[in-house]
């Protein structure tokens, strides 16, 4: 995932005393501390209060500090009691983010619409698909074509599953993308899928198709290590809802795939996950293994997650297609929590159509993640371009955008492709709001999710120990006041309203994947995004283009992104050596 450090002032050393973080020596009271109050915890001395007030930029007079002293001591005692009651990562706070918060009744309207027969998706499945003469070519076929081959019994699920397992074994030493192969489970389910298909039962386009999942999703009996040394032997008891839904759709989960430690980057204790297009380079993160495995033809699709770029970034680096759904589309039950108000699970595949097929299988309520609503996904093969209003971020496609970067020519060429497809493009701009400070929302939630790791000192076991890595971010976030976290979320609501106004004029907009502040903005607001390959840089590195849609507007989003992909062949390119 792409991540910005929280904006906090320089930390005064003695301020640690006010927080009593046990990984420092400052938790004992200085010799000048005021005498203990026999009716409560020992108050802090004036030096510690002054230092702490500087950290949070809150000037205090001497009399104000005197009044605060006992309250701060009692708050610190409360922290100790809270920390003594250890809470599992799976336990969410008694607060939840709702991207439709400011629109009362909107969720109920969507749920009612989802029950309509017209709300069901319609897929573009060919009447007939020819099985390739070389069975190895099956590894590169899209889900939509594999579905036809499986249903017509020109290929079996066990054959595809064994092919995927063999390729994962063969190429993992180069890519470092596999954490655990689920071979016994996968082969048993593949045989079951074949039996059902032989008997005329077809569960849908994923029936019998192998896939991988990012190793922050729990599967009982198998390790779920989150890419981090402290959890390398962890076995979770729950079955992640996404895995359960894939099982129900007949998909065959063959592997748990690598992620950067605790969902940051492409580095985990097993090494760096590599980019199939350039083995000297990481595959980006944090859905590193998912993107690399799809790009190298090891699995037809994989599940990734995004909090702030963790699908968009590796999909770009590896030249594949990724779909970050609307927040609230897909249950996170059984998934590692990093940010309860920003985490989203979504598919990485070869095509937009494949991503939409997978999204349909994993979406919807499960009674376990209260943020999820039932909303329609009325994907259609024949949505007319004239019925969809498409915007583009004009400043990011201008001739001077990108400071002379020749790759910007690819972005501008993409607009011509969309116009040729029949879309009338509307110039728009992102809301003129400074959002970088809102990155502290993620910092605070992540630090809370892994506070026990920090307090225990086991964060020292993580591979990356630099400033821009979780151990330091977790510690820095401990200094962010709860008041500022609430203030950031209040400004987040204003940003949500800004985007509501933007989408009054368009249904979908197109943008360079990393243009401006859009990636952070839309992860904060919960809007869906599809990233697709749109060419290669002068050095041969894959490039991407992104489409952003209305909340729960994935049907229109898929239609526009698919129209672009239908008229290009970037998604059909393969890295050499695989």
In the residue annotation, 116 being an active-site residue is answered as no
Total Cβ atoms within 10 A of residue 519 = 22
Strand 210-214 and strand 301-306: the pairing is parallel
Whether 214 is catalytic: yes
Q: How far from chain centre, in Å, is Cα 43?
A: 43
Sheet holding 425-428, edge to edge: 178-181, 252-257, 210-214, 301-306, 344-349, 321-324, 529-536, 542-549, 508-512, 390-393, 425-428
Asked if 304 and 314 touch (Cβ cutoff 8 Å), the reply is yes
Which one of 26, 53, 286, 335 is the catalytic residue? 286
Which three-class secondary structure string do you get for 509-559?
Answer: EEEECCCCCHHHHHHHHCCCEEEEEEEECCCCCEEEEEEEECCCCHHHHHH
- Terminus-to-terminus CA distance in the chain, angstroms? 26
Joined tokens for residue 517: 């502040």
Cβ-proximal residues to 450 (8 Å cutoff; 6+ apart), any chain = 89, 262, 459, 470, 474
Are 383 and 122 in contact by the 8 Å Cβ rule? The answer is no
150 vs 142: CA distance, rounded Å: 12
310 is catalytic: yes
Catalytic residue (choose from 26, 214, 335, 544): 214
Cα–Cα distance between 429 and 394 in angstroms, integer? 7
Integer Cα distance of 284 and 322 in angstroms: 13
- Residue tagged active-site, from 305, 310, 331, 443: 310
- C-alpha triplet 247, 252, 257: angle, nearest 5°: 105
- Residues marked active site are found at 214, 286, 310
């Amino acid at each position: 995932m792409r991540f910005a450090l929280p904006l906090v002032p320089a930390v005064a050393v003695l301020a640690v005393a006010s927080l009593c973080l046990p990984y420092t020596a400052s938790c004992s009271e200085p010799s000048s501390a005021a005498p203990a109050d026999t009716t409560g915890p020992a108050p802090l001395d004036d030096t510690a209060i002054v230092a702490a007030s500087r950290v949070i930029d809150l000037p205090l007079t001497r009399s104000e500090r005197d009044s605060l002293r006992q309250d701060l001591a009692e708050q610190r005692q409360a922290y100790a009691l809270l920390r003594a009651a250890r809470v599992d990562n799976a336990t969410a706070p008694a607060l939840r983010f709702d991207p439709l918060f400011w629109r009362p009744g909107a969720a109920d309207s969507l749920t009612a619409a989802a029950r309509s027969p017209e709300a069901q998706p319609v897929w573009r499945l060919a009447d007939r698909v020819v099985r390739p003469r070389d069975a190895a070519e099956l590894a590169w076929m899209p889900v939509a074509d594999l579905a036809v081959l499986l249903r017509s019994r020109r290929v079996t699920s066990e054959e595809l599953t064994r092919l995927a397992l063999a390729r994962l074994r063969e190429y993992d030493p180069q890519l470092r993308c596999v954490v655990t192969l689920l071979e016994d489970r996968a082969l048993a389910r593949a045989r079951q899928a074949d039996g059902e298909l032989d008997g005329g039962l077809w569960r849908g386009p994923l029936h019998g198709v192998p896939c991988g999942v990012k190793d922050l999703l729990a599967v009982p009996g198998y390790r779920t290590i989150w890419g981090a040394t402290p959890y390398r032997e962890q076995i979770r008891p729950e079955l992640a809802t996404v895995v359960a839904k894939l099982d129900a759709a007949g998909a065959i989960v063959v592997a748990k795939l690598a992620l950067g430690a605790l969902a940051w980057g492409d580095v985990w204790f097993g090494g760096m996950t590599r980019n199939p297009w350039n083995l000297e380079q990481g595959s980006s993160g944090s859905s590193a293994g998912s993107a690399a495995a799809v790009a190298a033809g090891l699995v037809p699709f994989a599940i990734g997650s995004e909090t702030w770029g963790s699908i968009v970034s590796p999909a770009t680096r590896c030249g594949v297609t990724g779909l970050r759904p609307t927040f609230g589309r897909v249950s996170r039950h059984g998934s590692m929590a990093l940010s309860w108000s920003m985490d989203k699970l979504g598919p990485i595949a070869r095509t937009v159509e494949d991503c939409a097929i997978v999204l349909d299988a994993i979406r919807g309520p499960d009674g376990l993640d209260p943020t999820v609503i039932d909303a329609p996904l009325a994907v259609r093969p024949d949505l007319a371009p004239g019925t969809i209003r498409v915007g583009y971020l004009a400043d990011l496609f201008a001739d001077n955008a990108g400071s002379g970067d020749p790759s910007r020519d690819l972005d501008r060429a993409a607009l011509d492709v969309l116009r040729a497809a029949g879309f009338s493009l509307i110039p728009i701009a992102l809301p003129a709001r400074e959002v970088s400070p809102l990155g502290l929302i993620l910092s605070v939630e992540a630090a809370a999710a892994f506070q026990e790791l920090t307090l225990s000192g086991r964060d020292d076991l993580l591979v990356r120990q630099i400033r821009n890595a979780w151990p330091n971010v977790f510690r820095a976030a401990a200094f962010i006041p709860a008041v500022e976290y609430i203030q950031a979320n209040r400004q987040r609501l204003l940003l949500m309203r800004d985007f509501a106004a933007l989408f009054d004029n368009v249904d979908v907009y197109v943008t360079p994947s990393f243009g401006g502040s859009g990636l952070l903005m839309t992860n904060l607001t919960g809007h869906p995004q599809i990233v697709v390959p749109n060419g290669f840089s002068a050095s041969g590195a894959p490039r991407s283009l992104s489409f952003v849609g209305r909340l729960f507007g994935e049907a229109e989003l898929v239609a526009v992104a698919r129209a672009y992909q239908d008229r290009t062949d970037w998604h059909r390119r393969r890295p050499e050596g695989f």
